[in-house]
Chain A
């Protein structure tokens, strides 16, 4: 292929044409279960910018779905439209069976929403916050109290019932915020960058909570993140760039479609290295002082590469690809080309 190289089977790595091809591919088969979230050509335009550009999503019930993209790629706007907080300017979307445009209140009744910043009153206690949130969802007091106890147990907060939220640690506050989001047993939970500002331990336990919620309540989760190591835990991910879904699939598929290996070559002049090696390994991706090449040959060894390297090279590393590589190829691959 000239000009637009396509590595593996799934991911287009160069050129907008490849992206369009990806967009036109038929929906993946996802079993017979109903979809918790369906978006077709969902768009949000402002006077001079297009924040979300004809997004298509289908999320089956009980799935954890990751929306990945850099800041400003339209993740939050997408969540807002799906949560009935913002009116789409184009396309349609149904969440838990309700039209986000025509039935925003019914949508909000059936979803939980966790924002980047906590939706909690710092001056009230853990119990008071959950009581307030439950009342907003018109929950009857007795049912609400049972549910609060259940969730505080699940999230390890049962000993902090009467602590003022302002005095909780960041991890606990986030856990409480997620508990607040699922208090009314929503069918779909939206989480916008839930792990920003959390240390690795708390991030890990948050993901455990999500897995447990899915197990116990068959809740569907749509989560945005830019931590790629977390996205692995999703059943399916979609990459967003400038308001468009540029590719989606299971993390395994996406990683596999990138190739068998990633060859990292490090040196003081990465551009020269990239140029020099392009004929052997295809177009490389320059990230800082490293050049990354996707290798689609299962029997590839470092020995083969060694022959091509010269004195400029300071280090080489041959490894299996991961989601971070997919992200780099998708996000920076085009940026290089376009700029």
Chain B
């Protein structure tokens, strides 16, 4: 089964690397946050005696790249329909659940590559300089990328109306990002926001990255949860979302209308 999966990943990579503009904008977005919101908030907080806000949002921005990169890549499964690739995939000799699995994997890889590139930029700028646990950073990036990809495929196989990019952006990506502790510590939020952040699996991915880069930082800007808890939540959530996607896509009631659409969107 590795050969088809590798082919699907390679196609996705080729596509990602060919679209330079998109790749660059994926890196510029977090840097923009770093130098606008990061600088602005830090200036504001310095009066209050806190001086590390820019370092604080670095793990959040890495997670942001994963969220946009991996989730959008897995959502692009929807666009495979139009490109004809989905026809090749459904005719291929393996169970249809593998299509979802391969798309999930390729999306996670795309997110990871973007995160690695951003890490290099951040390291060059001196933001990943001291007290960074490389192993934990790697584990955090890999698992969070998988999580974002699995949320993406779950949306892709669940909804019919997700051709609408703006809807996904406003109702999924932004809420997941803002309610995650990427921009502010979860522990000091009001109870209702804290609850939302606690049920958002992405929060734990962000927290894992905080453990990697902010372990030395004392509260209130340090990590909110334990590493074990982060790992557990992130892996269980991404496994569950992936499994649900595979099962859903394999159902006749979901798959057959897709096959019909691919064969003839107009008649029959």
Instruction: Contact check, B268 vs A121: say whether CB atoms are below 8 A apart.
Output: no
Instruction: Contact check, A135 vs B87: say whether CB atoms are below 8 A apart.
Output: no
Identify 25 residue pairs between A and B in the complex whose beta-carbon atoms are under 8 Å apart, listed by A's number.
Answer: A71-B267, A74-B268, A85-B90, A86-B252, A86-B256, A86-B259, A106-B93, A108-B92, A109-B93, A115-B262, A115-B263, A116-B264, A117-B263, A119-B84, A119-B85, A119-B87, A119-B88, A121-B11, A124-B11, A135-B4, A135-B7, A136-B89, A136-B93, A137-B4, A138-B4
Contact-residue size bin, chain A (C-beta under 8 Å from the other chain):
35 or more
Q: How does the 8 Å CB contact mask read for A67-107 relative to B, with 1 for contact and 0 for none?
A: 00001101111011001011100000000000000000110
A108-B92, A121-B84 provided; 9 other pairs, C-beta below 8 A?
A76-B263, A86-B256, A86-B259, A105-B94, A112-B91, A117-B263, A120-B88, A136-B92, A137-B92
Q: Please, which residue of chain A has its CB at the minimum distance from the CB of B2?
A: A138
Q: Please, which residue of chain A has its CB at the minimum distance from the CB of B19?
A: A123
Residues of B that sit less than 8 Å from A by CB = 1, 3-4, 6-7, 11, 14-15, 18, 83-85, 87-95, 252, 255-256, 259-260, 262-264, 267-268
Q: How does the 8 Å CB contact mask read for A182-195 relative to B, with 1 for contact and 0 for none?
A: 00000000001000
User: In the complex, A117→B83 CA distance in Å?
Assistant: 10
Instruction: Contact check, B256 vs A132: say whether CB atoms are below 8 A apart.
Output: no
Q: With contacts A72-B267, A136-B4 known, is A123 near B84, CB below 8 A? A: no
User: In the complex, A117→B265 CA distance in Å?
Assistant: 10
Contact of A132 among B88, B91, B264 (CB under 8 A): B88
Q: Please, which residue of chain B has its CB at the minimum distance from the CB of A173?
A: B84
User: In the complex, A120→B85 CA distance in Å?
Assistant: 6
Residues of A that sit less than 8 Å from B by CB = 51, 71-72, 74-77, 79-80, 83, 85-87, 105-106, 108-109, 112-113, 115-124, 131-133, 135-138, 180, 192
Q: With contacts A117-B262, A135-B4 known, is A108 near B84, CB below 8 A? A: no
Nearest-CB distance from B243 to chain A (Å)?
20
Q: Please, which residue of chain B has its CB at the minimum distance from the CB of A77?
A: B268
User: In the complex, A132→B15 CA distance in Å?
Assistant: 13
Instruction: Contact check, A113 vs B91: say whether CB atoms are below 8 A apart.
Output: yes
Q: Please, which residue of chain A has its CB at the minimum distance from the CB of B1?
A: A138
Q: With contacts A76-B268, A118-B84, A138-B3 known, is A123 near B15, CB below 8 A? A: yes
Residues of A within 8 A of B15 (CB): 123
Q: Please, which residue of chain A has its CB at the minimum distance from the CB of B252?
A: A87
Residues of A within 8 A of B7 (CB): 131-132, 135-136
User: In the complex, A109→B91 CA distance in Å?
Assistant: 9
Instruction: Contact check, A136 vs B252: say whether CB atoms are below 8 A apart.
Output: no
Contact of A121 among B83, B263, B267 (CB under 8 A): B83
User: In the complex, A85→B255 CA distance in Å?
Assistant: 8
User: In the complex, A86→B263 CA distance in Å?
Assistant: 12
Residues of A within 8 A of B92 (CB): 108, 136-137
Instruction: Contact check, B263 vs A80: say whether CB atoms are below 8 A apart.
Output: yes
Q: Please, which residue of chain A has its CB at the minimum distance from the CB of B267?
A: A71
Residues of B within 8 A of A136 (CB): 4, 7, 88-89, 92-93
A51, A72, A79, A120 — most chain B CB neighbours (10 Å): A120
Residues of A within 8 A of B90 (CB): 85
Nearest-CB distance from B91 to chain A (Å)?
4
Nearest-CB distance from A90 to chain B (Å)?
14
Residues of A within 8 A of B6 (CB): 135
Nearest-CB distance from A219 to chain B (Å)?
16
Instruction: Contact check, A117 vs B11: say whether CB atoms are below 8 A apart.
Output: no
Instruction: Contact check, B263 vs A119: say whether CB atoms are below 8 A apart.
Output: no
Nearest-CB distance from A178 to chain B (Å)?
13
Q: With contacts A105-B93, A132-B7 known, is A117 near B84, CB below 8 A? A: yes
A72, A112, A121 — most chain B CB neighbours (10 Å): A121
Nearest-CB distance from B18 to chain A (Å)?
8
User: In the complex, A212→B92 CA distance in Å?
Assistant: 24
Residues of A within 8 A of B3 (CB): 135, 138
Instruction: Contact check, A85 vs B84: say whether CB atoms are below 8 A apart.
Output: no
B6, B90, B93 — most chain A CB neighbours (10 Å): B93
Residues of A within 8 A of B18 (CB): 123
Q: Please, which residue of chain B has its CB at the minimum distance from the CB of A107?
A: B93
Residues of A within 8 A of B1 (CB): 138
Residues of B within 8 A of A180 (CB): 88
